[in-house]
Structure 1
Amino acid sequence: MPTPDTFWTYLGAISIYLVVLAVPGGLIGVAAGLRGWSLAGLAPLLTYTVTGLAGPWLHLMGLPYNVGTAAACTVVLAGAAFGLRRLGQSRGWVSTEPDKPPVRWTRRAHIAVAACVVLATVLSVTVVLSASGGASAVFQRWDTVFHANGIRYIAETGDGGLTGMGTINWYPEGSFYPNAYHLVGALVYSLSGATIPAVLNAITVPIAGIFALSLVAMIRQFGGRAVFAGAAAIVAGAATTGAYESVSSGLLPFALGIVLTPLAAVALQRFLIRPGVDTGTVLALSAVGLLAAHSSALFGAMLFAFPLVIQRWLRREGKPLGDVLRMLPVMLVSALIAAPHILGAITFTSGAYPYQAWASSIELSEAINQLIKFRQILSDPQLWLAALLVLGLLSFRTLGAMRWVAGSALLLSAIFILVACYGGLSWVITFSRPWWNDKYRLMALAAIPLCLLAGHGLAELQRWFAKAVSSWSWLQAKPRIPGRIGLVTAMLLVVGMAVVTQGFYTQANAKAVAYAYHDGPQQPDRQPPVSADEVTAMLVLQKMGVGPDEKVLNDRIDGSAWLYAITGIRPVAGHYDPGVPPKDAVYLAANFRNYDTDPEVRAAVRRLNIHHVLLGNGAIKPQLRRAIGLRDLDGLDFLRRDYANPHAVIYTIVK
């Protein structure tokens, strides 16, 4: 179900996304005093911070969000960070010496770790592209249409507010949604000239590479070995339950929040060991970036990093009261600059939108099995990663300053088990509301420390291997060889892992991600929600002169909800979601075929300025049937059938 994009257009979209990820956040990071791996890791998060702040605040000021205003906001935020740091230095509040990691890495180690991040990114690109079957394939899962429509809406209207993009479906007021993901996507769409499906794919392909970079930055901040950092990067590119599984469910902004979560520990640790205006600025901006990427990301980051704070207090490296008092100004600044997001979330939570709990109730043994074997939606376990996880757990004492990761794994795994096994309990539903009581989301959160422990297991295996090889007497007689044993053994283990995992589980991960393009496990006899014929019909409709203030009547369950994302024409139903739909949309879905005899139908058609009807033939859920008011329209005298193919039809209202 691809849309028309050339290879060069798609390559340009990926390249532009990588530039957008690196440059705005990188400028802000440099201005705030970040350097090295901390800068590289935090740059993507700070990019989402500045865009996530720019859109809502520009909207409140009556200004459009576009490439120019986003660049201006970047300059303003970078200038503010630089000014605060220089003010702190002049007053003696900030050290003029750059941060020095606890452990020195050699130049060779830096290059090797960077190569591992590149490898994870290549694995990610390979997985997503082989899963989609094409660079411009259309995502088929539930929420992906909302994200697609949102990106186009922001790019075309300049409305970066937190409710605006919801007006494609929940008109006229819209609906709250944290939109940093969509604001970055709008920049890529505007700069690349690619279609929306191609932009969504371009943003998705490096997802595991971003995860790898985040883990490396975190390990570097805590003084971990270079081998540990490289091993964690490789695990990030191989683990299904890390970056890939959320993508397979269509949870695109949530997946982004997951891969950025480890950076919360980087920003927090920098502030705890050296409280100052500069480190506080980075921590505040990091918290806002996570909140703007996805509402649950900040909650998840707090849970992930909580054992870090406990370890600090147990080791008497800090006092609880002192740490809390120093955190208060940071929390206040974060709350002030993220006020639109906080107020929007509160309003949404107390609004009319229904909260439906998943109420999972799998067996306890099965939940533990899924955690250990890095699999949930796939039947085949990732046994080699499970073995590395066991090694990492058994040797957690050698983690040093990162022993808290074991506590994080225990805490987040326990929360996953709670929701997966006892998700129907009322207090569990309430507690897990930030994650919609969804065991798949909580598995992704638990996977973060589990990937770190598996990476630690691989690093410890390399340590033991190198120690054993170093004891060989004939090697000790050769002066240049012992210094290279670490690198050689690490490379041999990576090659060995590639062999035993059949290319770092690329095929299995592609199968999982493919669910995003087939609406779940592929069913050969079932038509996907958005078929190639439906896309063709949308492009035909685009040539029929539909006005900018018109809406096209469509059925909520079929792929026509993608009409706006693909053509810019607004449908009556802009999302599969039936929660609190507009009254006119509900009435037309139930009664449109009574147009001749029902004056309220004609009034709703006039209010929404409807002149055309587009119906597809697939359904987002197999058990759903077309709305009763949109069935059997052929032959009705108020409609003219202007176009049809095997899976889509276009009518024009002639009365």
Structure 2
Amino acid sequence: MPTPDTFWTYATTIGIYLVVLVVPGLLVGLAAGLRGWSLAGLTPLFTYAVTGLAGPWLAEFGLPYNVGTVAAVTLLFAGLGFTARKLTARLGWGKEAAGPPVAWTARAHWAVAACVALATVLSVVVVLSAAGGPNAVFQRWDTVYHANGLRYIADTGDGSLTGMSTINWYPDGSYYPNAYHLVGALVYSLSGATVPAALNAVTVPVAGIFALSLVAVIHRFGGRAVFAGCTALVAAAATTGAYESVSSGLLPFALGIVLTPLSAVALQVFLDRPGLDTGFVLALSAAGLLAAHSSTLFGAILLALPLLVQRWWQRKGKPWRDLALVAPAALAAGLMTAPHILGALTFSSGAYPYNPWASDIPVMAALTQLATFRQVLDEPQIWLSLLLAVGVIMLWKLGRMLWVVMSAVLLSAMFVLVASYGAEPWVISMSRPWWNDRYRLMALAAIPLCLLAGHGLAELQRLSAKAIGQWSWLQARPNATGRVGLATGAVVLALLAVLTNGFYTSVNAQAVAYAYHNGPESEHREQPVSADEVRAMLELQKFAVPGERVMNERSDGTAWVYAIAGVKPVAGHYDPSVPPPDAKLLARHFREYDTNPEVRAAVERLNVRHVLIGHGSIQAQYSVTSGLRDLEGLRFLRKEYSNPGAVIYTVLR
């Protein structure tokens, strides 16, 4: 279901997001002394760190979150990074770290950059093809919460960790890490687009960010440029990497997944040369990962732990030295994210229920899903599976990146446990940061699997180049060696593009289409947020008065009314868990307004002046809640507007 945005408005919105994504993080990274691919990779993470810290801390001091205050906080963090760098040099810790074992030529850098750019283009094509248009409304469960939260921050300037939740859990709200929403709020405010268009703009480059993160990892650990370029395009092709989380509507989680590889980059930057500046980089990276999503930092630790194990093995011990060096950075990150940590502790001890998925698919089925890079689709990504097999066979060529194999084993084992033994109490407890959800664990496992598949493709290129280099006429032309490498790299990527039908673009679009109910599986099901409901929401703007809440049905698309029309609903999320007492009362008894004084008191407290009833539902089978059934003809309601899928009433007080 589209909202009224022009193509140029949407194109501008994407451009604004890219500017917002780059500028704060780039300034901070440059000030801290980062350069090259480490700077490029960490830039998006630093942006989400700065905004994710700015919102809660500004709220603590009673200051609004907006473009001006974010600019000020960006300058503050840039100043901290610059000061840390200068102090490090003054203290004699400024010796430059050794560069990566394999230096890339200028031509190699440009070739890898082209691969990252192509991965980003593929990501845009996948998401827009899946959505059916740049201003389509997300239809999955949590997307309404993210949409309403984004608008709340933009409208109110409240960047706290509980404020945006007051749309549904009023009056006090509920904890949720909101870096994703804070960046989205800036994009929405600057672009003039609708909230659905802003959400789509923030989503379209997701696989491009994933590709950039993996390239930064490979470069930091001295991998070949061909390895980096191949992995960038594998990242854009793998369904279980960036796309599957989007297909489930897990938008902040998808962001966290594509930023997770940067934990290895930040950790290695610090270990290569411990100092105040590199410690600042590590601490800010950890803070950004936590601010992106509560599970991201846990996943990042699991991904990077084998890196430390490999380092300790090669150095024959000394783990306590590294841990002692990392501890101050961890403490600094903890201080920066104090509001997040306190909020998470409060949430975990609160009334919100933790309902495990308790998945029990067969172990072989779980392993097959891992190896074929798919869960939501029936079609396996067989060519990526073959590349993964080659990468595993050639693991001895990984060198400093051998830890990736250990990460793959560790994270894949976690996925199998949750997918096959998800009802076991200890598995439920172990997987709590990921809500016992096998889809989330699959996305985490996909990070090292994509690296291994990219390694497999790069090794095929290397073997091809080596075989061609044995030709006698090439041996007589030493200057042709570099050209052979570039040519074989281009050929293997072109061959992969052909074999995968354009890097699995259409397959991935089919997966992402689940998020929009725009695929074949939704042909005979009405969308939760229908075109008629969106028209009614926009019409409601003519009647609504400031400060009112509109009475609505929790399961239909009207929960989107705040994001689309700026009018707060009584039910602002599909989630029925721990509803506010007044919302619960009205859902059951609203139609008794004339005769029930408790209902009238709740209507007065919430300032309910209108009723908005839609037609579709987030649930495949549902019935309208008892308090909103058969409203037609009730004497305390006057119909103001109706269309085939929605109706608006005025409450006659």
TM-score (structure 2 length as normaliser): 0.99
Report the counterpart of residue 364 of structure 1 in structure 2.
363
CA distance in 2, matches of 1:273, 1:83: 20
Report the counterpart of residue 563 of structure 1 in structure 2.
561
Read off the aligned partner of 2:207 and give its amino acid letter. Answer: A
Q: SS of the counterpart of 2:551?
A: strand
| Conserved 8 A contact 2:98-2:272 | no
CA distance in 2, matches of 1:593, 1:529: 23
CA distance in 2, matches of 1:585, 1:522: 33
| Percent of matched pairs sharing the same residue | 69
Call closer, same or farther: CA 1:523–1:323 in 2, change over 3 Å: same
CA distance in 1, matches of 2:148, 2:530: 17
Q: CA RMSD in A?
A: 1.1
Structure 1 residue 324 displacement after superposition: 1.2
Report the counterpart of residue 7 of structure 1 in structure 2.
7
Structure 1 residue 475 displacement after superposition: 2.7
CA distance in 2, matches of 1:603, 1:355: 32
- Aligned positions of 1:21-36 closer than 5 A: 21-36=21-36
The 10-residue stretch of structure 1 (360-369 or 101-110) with the greater mean CA deviation from structure 2: 101-110
CA distance in 2, matches of 1:521, 1:316: 54
Structure 1 residue 93 displacement after superposition: 2.6
Residue 267 (str. 1) matches residue 266 (str. 2): yes
Q: SS of the counterpart of 1:170?
A: coil
Q: SS of the counterpart of 1:613?
A: strand
Structure 1 residue 474 displacement after superposition: 2.7
Q: SS of the counterpart of 1:651?
A: strand
Report the counterpart of residue 452 of structure 1 in structure 2.
451
Read off the aligned partner of 1:33 and give its amino acid letter. Answer: G
CA distance in 1, matches of 2:492, 2:84: 46
Read off the aligned partner of 2:19 and give its amino acid letter. Answer: V
CA distance in 1, matches of 2:500, 2:91: 55
Task: Please list the CA deviations of residues 333-365 of structure 1 after superposition, one character each: whole Å capped at 9, or x if unmatched.
Answer: 111111000000000000000110000000001
Structure 2, gaps ≥5 residues long: none
Report the counterpart of residue 195 of structure 1 in structure 2.
194
| Conserved 8 A contact 2:529-2:556 | yes
Structure 1 residue 98 displacement after superposition: 6.9
CA distance in 1, matches of 2:153, 2:98: 39
Structure 1 residue 654 displacement after superposition: 1.5
Q: SS of the counterpart of 2:521?
A: coil
Q: SS of the counterpart of 2:76?
A: helix
Q: SS of the counterpart of 2:172?
A: coil
Q: SS of the counterpart of 2:522?
A: coil
Report the counterpart of residue 81 of structure 1 in structure 2.
81
CA distance in 2, matches of 1:89, 1:348: 42
Aligned residues: 653
Structure 1, gaps ≥5 residues long: none
- Aligned positions of 1:207-356 closer than 5 A: 207-316=206-315, 319-356=318-355
CA distance in 2, matches of 1:467, 1:56: 55
| Conserved 8 A contact 1:211-1:236 | yes
Read off the aligned partner of 1:198 and give its amino acid letter. Answer: A
Structure 1 residue 331 displacement after superposition: 1.1
Task: Please list the CA deviations of residues 602-628 of structure 1 after superposition, one character each: whole Å capped at 9, or x if unmatched.
Answer: 111111001100010011011222111
Q: SS of the counterpart of 1:552?
A: strand
Call closer, same or farther: CA 1:164–1:151 in 2, change over 3 Å: same
Task: Please list the CA deviations of residues 430-484 of structure 1 after superposition, one character each: whole Å capped at 9, or x if unmatched.
Answer: 1100000000000000000000000000000000111111111233334543331
Report the counterpart of residue 46 of structure 2 in structure 1.
46
Report the counterpart of residue 127 of structure 1 in structure 2.
126
CA distance in 1, matches of 2:347, 2:481: 61
1:651 to 637, 649, 652: 649
Call closer, same or farther: CA 1:469–1:17 in 2, change over 3 Å: same
Q: SS of the counterpart of 1:487?
A: helix
Call closer, same or farther: CA 1:254–1:220 in 2, change over 3 Å: same
| Conserved 8 A contact 1:519-1:620 | no
CA distance in 1, matches of 2:316, 2:399: 14
Read off the aligned partner of 1:94 and give its amino acid letter. Answer: G
Q: SS of the counterpart of 2:609?
A: strand
| Conserved 8 A contact 2:141-2:574 | yes
Structure 1 residue 318 displacement after superposition: 6.0
Task: Please list the CA deviations of residues 398-442 of structure 1 after superposition, one character each: whole Å capped at 9, or x if unmatched.
Answer: 000000000000000000000000000111101100000000000
Structure 1 residue 522 displacement after superposition: 2.7
Read off the aligned partner of 2:571 and give its amino acid letter. Answer: A
The 10-residue stretch of structure 1 (474-483 or 54-63) with the greater mean CA deviation from structure 2: 474-483
Report the counterpart of residue 428 of structure 2 in structure 1.
429
Read off the aligned partner of 1:473 and give its amino acid letter. Answer: S
Residue 495 (str. 1) matches residue 494 (str. 2): yes
1:573 to 565, 571, 574: 571
Report the counterpart of residue 386 of structure 1 in structure 2.
385
Residue 158 (str. 1) matches residue 157 (str. 2): yes
Report the counterpart of residue 605 of structure 1 in structure 2.
603
CA distance in 2, matches of 1:480, 1:306: 42
Read off the aligned partner of 2:501 and give its amino acid letter. Answer: Q
CA distance in 1, matches of 2:98, 2:472: 41
| Conserved 8 A contact 1:140-1:519 | no
Report the counterpart of residue 642 of structure 1 in structure 2.
640
Structure 1 residue 519 displacement after superposition: 7.9
| Conserved 8 A contact 2:132-2:518 | no
Read off the aligned partner of 2:29 and give its amino acid letter. Answer: G
Residue 439 (str. 1) matches residue 438 (str. 2): yes
- Aligned positions of 1:83-98 closer than 5 A: 83-95=83-95, 97=96
Call closer, same or farther: CA 1:42–1:99 in 2, change over 3 Å: farther
Read off the aligned partner of 1:598 and give its amino acid letter. Answer: N
Read off the aligned partner of 2:75 and give its amino acid letter. Answer: V
Read off the aligned partner of 2:428 and give its amino acid letter. Answer: I
| Conserved 8 A contact 1:141-1:520 | no
CA distance in 2, matches of 1:583, 1:282: 45
Read off the aligned partner of 1:619 and give its amino acid letter. Answer: S
CA distance in 1, matches of 2:630, 2:31: 63
Task: Please list the CA deviations of residues 89-116 of structure 1 after superposition, one character each: whole Å capped at 9, or x if unmatched.
Answer: 1121333x47633221001100000000
- Aligned positions of 1:103-142 closer than 5 A: 103-142=102-141
| Conserved 8 A contact 1:559-1:620 | yes
Read off the aligned partner of 2:199 and give its amino acid letter. Answer: L
CA distance in 1, matches of 2:632, 2:270: 67
CA distance in 2, matches of 1:99, 1:278: 16
CA distance in 1, matches of 2:393, 2:623: 53
CA distance in 2, matches of 1:109, 1:563: 49
CA distance in 2, matches of 1:464, 1:644: 67
Report the counterpart of residue 375 of structure 1 in structure 2.
374
- Aligned positions of 1:491-530 closer than 5 A: 491-518=490-517, 522-530=521-529
CA distance in 2, matches of 1:296, 1:482: 46
Read off the aligned partner of 2:93 and give its amino acid letter. Answer: W
Structure 1 residue 271 displacement after superposition: 1.1
TM-score (structure 1 length as normaliser): 0.99
The 10-residue stretch of structure 1 (516-525 or 59-68) with the greater mean CA deviation from structure 2: 516-525
Task: Please list the CA deviations of residues 193-224 of structure 1 after superposition, one character each: whole Å capped at 9, or x if unmatched.
Answer: 11100000000000000000000000000000
Report the counterpart of residue 596 of structure 1 in structure 2.
594
CA distance in 2, matches of 1:20, 1:336: 25
Q: SS of the counterpart of 1:481?
A: helix
Structure 1 runs (4+) greater than 6 angstroms displaced: none
Q: SS of the counterpart of 2:22?
A: helix
| Conserved 8 A contact 1:265-1:305 | yes
Structure 1 residue 521 displacement after superposition: 6.3
Q: SS of the counterpart of 2:240?
A: helix
Structure 1 residue 274 displacement after superposition: 1.2
1:617 to 615, 618, 621: 615
CA distance in 1, matches of 2:283, 2:316: 22
Task: Please list the CA deviations of residues 514-542 of structure 1 after superposition, one character each: whole Å capped at 9, or x if unmatched.
Answer: 00000886322211100010000001101
Report the counterpart of residue 18 of structure 2 in structure 1.
18
The 10-residue stretch of structure 1 (410-419 or 471-480) with the greater mean CA deviation from structure 2: 471-480
CA distance in 2, matches of 1:164, 1:466: 57
| Conserved 8 A contact 2:97-2:272 | no
Read off the aligned partner of 1:5 and give its amino acid letter. Answer: D
| Conserved 8 A contact 1:118-1:209 | yes
Q: SS of the counterpart of 1:514?
A: helix
| Conserved 8 A contact 1:94-1:278 | no
Call closer, same or farther: CA 1:570–1:520 in 2, change over 3 Å: farther
